[in-house]
Amino acid sequence: MKIAIIGAGNMGLSFSKSFLKYELIKPENLHLITRSQSKILKIKEEFPKSEISVFEEVKNLDADLIIIAVKPQDFQKVAESFQFSLNENQMILSIMAGIKIEKIQKSLNHKSVVRAMPNSPTLLGMGITGYTSAEGISFNQLMNIERLLNSTGRSVYLENEDLLDGVTALSGSGPAYFYYIVDAMIKAGTQMGIDENLSKLFVKQTMLGAYHLINNSDKSLEDLIKDVASKGGTTEAALKTFEENNFKEILQQGILNAEKRAKELNG
């Protein structure tokens, strides 16, 4: 299989590294296309055996799968400036937030489109990707796509494309929510006089341990909270403050606003 990636940014490069790591593609069959001339040398250092191009240079695209990894706000401009035509045997995999399959099909005049929403832990092979497809994509073609996506973590196929905006808000944007909470916890630690590095250690290990408890316990989240929050204790004091300030509702509303923005990106 030959793969071209339009938009050699963080996500495009992380996908490329995963494909090569698991030997799903040969380096010489990978074509990375960037819009920035200044990034060429750095990308060549990381992918010395692959073809690296600036977008304007590409007159013909010899690839079985074309991954579009540009910012959704840039997609229309990129689509309009294509200097090559697609053939019916080529497949498009979009990892742009918000841009629906129908819009991609119309903009590129191409029917074979799969739309996916990964998240940043794909950089470590620990991501999760929701994906869906246009009509007419065969089971074997989808399995090939899933095999590629699973090299970056896990993937889930969605029959209903409308759910992908929710996936974008929940898991695509999700890592930032955790970073935000971790940052607040670390800063609370420093306010209590704990050295910043030590505060980071306590918070990061706490998050790691809490994740494993969630993943390995048969208890509900409510019961896990009760296990920590004894009546009249310190945890209860913190949780009471969160409840009084509607922290849970604020977080939920933020995620719903992220979904709303994903829908707006389609235009």
Q: What residues does each domain of the chain span?
A: 3-160, 173-265
| 130 labeled binding residue | no
Angle between helices 247-264 and 234-244 (to 10 degrees): 50
Written as one letter, the residue type at 209 is G
Q: Beta partners for 127?
A: 153
* Average pLDDT of the residues in 26-43: 93
| 9 labeled binding residue | yes
| 215 labeled binding residue | no
Written as one letter, the residue type at 259 is E
Written as one letter, the residue type at 266 is N
| 8 labeled binding residue | yes
Q: Which helix (H) or strand (E) holds 93?
A: strand 91-94
| 48 labeled binding residue | no
pLDDT in tens, 165-194: 999 999 999 999 999 999 999 999 999 999
> What is this structure's pTM?
0.91
**What is the band of 110 on the pLDDT scale with cuts at 50, 70, 90?**
very high
| 70 labeled binding residue | yes
What is the distance between the alpha carbons of residues 113 and 135, in angstroms, rounded to a whole number?
9
**What is the band of 92 on the pLDDT scale with cuts at 50, 70, 90?**
very high
Could you identify the residue written with the tokens 């995963």?
Answer: 18
* Average pLDDT of the residues in 74-89: 89
pLDDT in tens, 190-212: 999 999 999 999 999 999 999 99
What is the distance between the alpha carbons of residues 131 and 158, in angstroms, rounded to a whole number?
6
| 6 labeled binding residue | yes
| φ, ψ for residue 158, nearest 5 deg | -115, 125
| 176 labeled binding residue | no
- The DSSP secondary structure of 122-173, one letter per residue, reads GGGT-EEEEEEE-TT--HHHHHHHHHHHHTTEEEEE-S-TTHHHHHIIIIIS
Q: What is the pLDDT of residue 152?
A: 95
